[in-house]
Structure 1
């Protein structure tokens, strides 16, 4: 029983903490500072610059705050599982339910999951927890995201690695509208500042995970032998909407302005853990000797996205049927450079989706992202909101290289703002 508890705690540690680090200063997603996974946005193919509302506006387009819509998330919790079909087919779930021998459970689960991992980058699971408020053009929120990535040079078990990452952010946004011709032409302008803290891990192999689980004190072993990198930045997003008649809107968003992170790499993750414990006013968790620290900087380059949206004005029919359509072209600066050598590069930058709200209670969504289909559904039950989406994302260099399926489920208690 004690062994099974240690294994369970190790899995929770891997999934739910930031006690991990790279031994090099690269971010896992070089062009991304921090962006939560939205079940609604993913179901619409990742599109929504012109249609995002509520907390999604913080990260999609702060100019949308100018709509002055009220939303309140207390809280919103999302869980995203990657490769869900492969996990079911592998029998991992049955092994966890039926395996009575804790001494072999960790090895069985790790080996089977690593068998799913293919060459290149990938994902295991992501959790997002947020509390936010928007209204009157203002917005404020707090977000925490935990991610478990994979990396493999050739897809073989001996080279498969796990990487963990945590992001914590406080978002402060403001948007306002300039009415040039009422009901005909108006412009929204908005900005979001996002103090962000990021910590991420070294590449940890399957055998290392099993060795940690077999140790008498896995937490101390991990904190004494594995490094962690952590640091902060205050990226800023700026957005603009041009609102046209009959619900048309054209949008542009510049992301990750001021995206320079001040980072520290800790030779022993226990030193970082103790700093966090001291910050929280708690006793030190790591009791071993201290290691060296190295400071460095990492800059996430700014990007420019364009979007087009249409929310038809259906009058009284809008209570029964409320459609919206979105089309985005992301990272157009990189796109312009890529088009010089690849005429089809634009396909990697296209996002498109649609949503239909029925009877103000049910949302049906679909979208296309780099040619892959996305589907989703949402239920609005007074102050309870549940969204689910199933979609594919490309993790290879080109479309078709490495598509990975994902399932996101979000629960939100509050007012959704749509």
Structure 2
């Protein structure tokens, strides 16, 4: 069981190096479109990504739950090494030096209606990288961010709106430290690894957003979202010190949508982390597209200079999403690519303005919630 636990931990962790830009509970749909999302979101996800889009809702949207899990790619040779690990023989770890292992698990739920929404999210991230051959240790990152979000929006003119979110956040960890081989091998779960990170805290944040839909063919939309305005600082609730702050994120995006017979087609471009001058422009750029057909959505995009591919399967109130994408861990695109995969299940109960039930396909085609 210890060997199985080690494999699970190694294959479910997030490499949180200094050059990886922080974002929690990321939408798998968004990742499939290269990370582009804020100008097209139209359902309860607006509460987490663009509160100004709450103005678009035309009924009641209940996000009963959205759960996602992800890992980075592990080749066959690495799997063989993992199978041959002996906790009492450090030499069996030699072929793992320099290997990055990543996993992320997140979930969110929300209730949203025109101009208002309330929701909750949680996000677990862990990463391991073995270093220091003379005294092997895992450079380990652990973070659990969770919190409640309340948002509202107001119309400021034809097709234009502003939105604001208020958040109460709890953070556990959020930093890196070295852990010995026995500590990691003997750990049975991510939470047991997390017990080595005793810094916990509570903080409060705010998101501001503005967007406009231009009355023209193809419904051009422009959106600007400022998440975690001024950073989110934490007050210590446990441990020796408060956890590190969550940095602010200014994003701007534009999208167009085509309502064609039998399908919807969306295309957009977005810049994220625009206030971070230490990050090259190529790492801030996200371009994506989605073709929505009955019961299936096909996505593709460009994330930090790398291609991403995604698919969504819709059945009544259920949606299954999957994505293959690349995260840049280095200073500039093309330096240190990390291939990642995520899958997720969403249970979404929606009603139109007349309180008639809408399944995923009906919501997409009739209320344009997905375009």
TM-score with structure 2 length normalisation? 0.79
Distance 2:213 2:86 in 1: 60
Cα distance change, pair 376–30 in 1 and its aligned pair in 2 (3 A): closer
Cα distance change, pair 313–300 in 1 and its aligned pair in 2 (3 A): same
Distance 1:144 1:253 in 2: 21
Aligned counterpart in structure 1 of residue 46 of structure 2, from 54, 57, 69: 57
Distance 1:87 1:107 in 2: 23
Distance 1:188 1:331 in 2: 22
Cα distance change, pair 237–155 in 1 and its aligned pair in 2 (3 A): farther
Aligned counterpart in structure 1 of residue 110 of structure 2, from 117, 121, 132: 132
Cα distance change, pair 350–227 in 1 and its aligned pair in 2 (3 A): closer
1:90 corresponds in structure 2 to: 78
1:117 corresponds in structure 2 to: 99
Aligned counterpart in structure 2 of residue 392 of structure 1, from 308, 319, 326: 326
Distance 1:371 1:407 in 2: 17
Cα deviation, 1:34-60, whole Å, max 9, x if unaligned, reads: 521211000100111101233432332
The structure that has the greater radius of gyration is: 1
Aligned counterpart in structure 2 of residue 324 of structure 1, from 266, 276, 291: 266
Q: Indicate the SS of the match to 1:364.
A: strand
Q: Indicate the SS of the match to 1:399.
A: coil
Q: Determine if contact 1:15/1:147 at 8 Å carries over to the other structure.
A: no
Cα deviation, 1:297-321, whole Å, max 9, x if unaligned, reads: 754443322110111244xx2xx11
Aligned counterpart in structure 1 of residue 284 of structure 2, from 338, 344, 349: 349
Aligned counterpart in structure 2 of residue 72 of structure 1, from 44, 54, 62: 62
**Map of 1:260-299 to 2, 5 A cutoff?**
260-264=232-236, 293-296=239-242, 298-299=244-245
TM-score with structure 1 length normalisation? 0.71
5+ residue gaps, structure 2, are 350-359, 361-368
Distance 2:98 2:243 in 1: 34
4+ residue segments displaced more than 6 Å: 9-17, 26-31, 105-108, 152-157, 219-222
Cα distance change, pair 233–16 in 1 and its aligned pair in 2 (3 A): farther
1:309 corresponds in structure 2 to: 255
Distance 2:42 2:170 in 1: 24
* Cα-Cα RMSD: 3.8
Cα distance change, pair 303–9 in 1 and its aligned pair in 2 (3 A): closer
Aligned residue pairs, count: 344
Cα distance change, pair 414–296 in 1 and its aligned pair in 2 (3 A): closer
